Amino acid sequence: MEPMDPTTYATLSILILAALLFFPITRLIWTLSVRRLQRRLQTELSQEQINGQLARARFLAVFVSLIFSALFYLNVFGIPANG
């Protein structure tokens, strides 16, 4: 079996770590944003508002998890070398 290209290995590693981090990051962002909005409005949120905050949290979690996993990979392994 031929070894994997370092760039492919780095990309797959970053994507796998990002996928694993996506759900906890989503939950954290969603919880903080719902609590902040409830405190600001001083009322219970409707289900529509909660779902809106969840969609926003998922959107932000994609970027946060990708950036964090890329920075983590670069910190641990460095920039992958071709060849």
Would you say residue 2 lies in a domain?
A: no
Identity of the amino acid at 43: T
Q: Which residues of 41-54 are buried (b: 16+ CB within 10 A; e: fewer)?
A: eeeeeeeeeeeebb
Q: How many Å apart are CA 56 and CA 60, to the nearest integer?
A: 6
Would you say residue 1 lies in a domain?
A: no
Would you say residue 82 lies in a domain?
A: no
Q: Indicate the number of domains in the chain.
A: 1
Q: What is residue 80's predicted lDDT score, i.e. its pLDDT?
A: 75
Would you say residue 17 lies in a domain?
A: yes
Q: pTM value?
A: 0.83
Q: Which regions of the chain are under pLDDT 50?
A: none
Kindly state the tokens that stand for 3: 């070894």
Kindly state the tokens that stand for 39: 């405190």
Q: What is the largest CA-CA distance in the chain?
A: 61
Q: Which range of residues forms the domain containing residue 44? A: 7-77
